[in-house]
């Protein structure tokens, strides 16, 4: 068995505990009625726990030399959680320094991973690697590109961004958890949660769109 230092073991324990609790809290936030107190509180707690997961994950990669693909998993889930929170907080596509800075840092991180792609010793399935990196690139490109969308055209896209990114952050964490706990079933133990999470986010977005369409129809009827 690998000989780990006490601090490293503590870091791993905190990482696992925070990640496991984040999954429970994140599920409650997804199930809770949107916009209500429970949803907001569990959402904030989820973000706090994700911050701990990100910090301990980065410590594991950069200080203790754990597999660098954990860097991509950490950056992907963390970036989506951060960007999803910022989307509903700003409710617009007006550029903010914090958003652009975090976006560029995330881009540099994934480029760092790709640069050392051949020398880090992959332990994950290629389908997981390529889909994870590809999705992170897609998110970053979209987030940089949305600033060029006219503000009026952008409209309520922030709400759909919030849904997609927060659900994706949750399922990214779930994929990392299930892939670690059930390595014998990879890549399915990681791939299936991602697919289910994407479908869940799409269903939520369709429901929101239909609700908005119904509300607009009623307003026109009343008018």
Q: Is the pLDDT of residue 9 over 80?
A: yes
How high is the mean pLDDT of the chain? 83
For residue 69, the tally of other CB atoms under 10 A from its CB is: 21
Quote the Cα angle for 138-144-146, to 5°: 95
Residue 1: predicted pLDDT: 43
Instruction: Say how many CA atoms lie within 13 Å of 196 toward its Cβ.
Output: 11
Q: Assign 214 a pLDDT band (cuts: 50, 70, 90).
A: low
Q: Is the pLDDT of residue 218 over 60?
A: no
**Are 215 and 159 spatial neighbours (Cβ–Cβ below 8 Å)?**
no
Instruction: Say how many CA atoms lie within 13 Å of 213 toward its Cβ.
Output: 6
Taking CA atoms, 58 is separated from 74, 181, 204, in Å, by 7, 20, 31
pTM exceeding the 0.75 threshold for the entire prediction: yes
Residue 219: predicted pLDDT: 44
Taking CA atoms, 119 is separated from 3, 18, 67, 68, in Å, by 23, 30, 11, 10
């Amino acid at each position: 068995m690998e000989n780990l230092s006490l601090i490293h073991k503590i870091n791993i324990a905190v990482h696992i505990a925070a990640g496991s609790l984040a999954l429970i809290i994140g599920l409650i936030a997804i199930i809770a009625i949107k916009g209500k107190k429970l949803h907001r509180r569990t959402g904030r707690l989820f973000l706090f726990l994700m911050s701990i997961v990100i910090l301990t994950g980065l410590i594991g990669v950069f200080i203790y030399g754990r597999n660098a693909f954990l860097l991509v998993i950490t950056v992907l889930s963390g970036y989506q959680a951060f960007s999803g929170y910022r989307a509903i907080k700003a409710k617009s596509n007006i550029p903010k320094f914090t958003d652009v800075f975090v976006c560029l840092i995330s881009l540099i991180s994934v480029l760092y991973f790709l640069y050392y792609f051949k020398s880090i010793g992959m332990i994950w399935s290629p389908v997981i690697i390529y889909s994870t990196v590809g999705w992170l690139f897609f998110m970053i490109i979209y987030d940089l590109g949305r600033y060029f969308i006219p503000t009026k055209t952008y409209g309520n896209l922030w709400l759909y961004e919030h849904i997609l990114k927060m659900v994706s952050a949750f399922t990214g964490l779930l994929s990392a958890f299930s892939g670690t706990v059930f390595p014998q079933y990879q890549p399915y133990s990681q791939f299936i949660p991602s697919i289910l999470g994407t479908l869940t986010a799409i269903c939520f977005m369709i429901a929101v769109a239909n609700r908005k369409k119904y509300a607009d129809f009623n307003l026109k009827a009343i008018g």
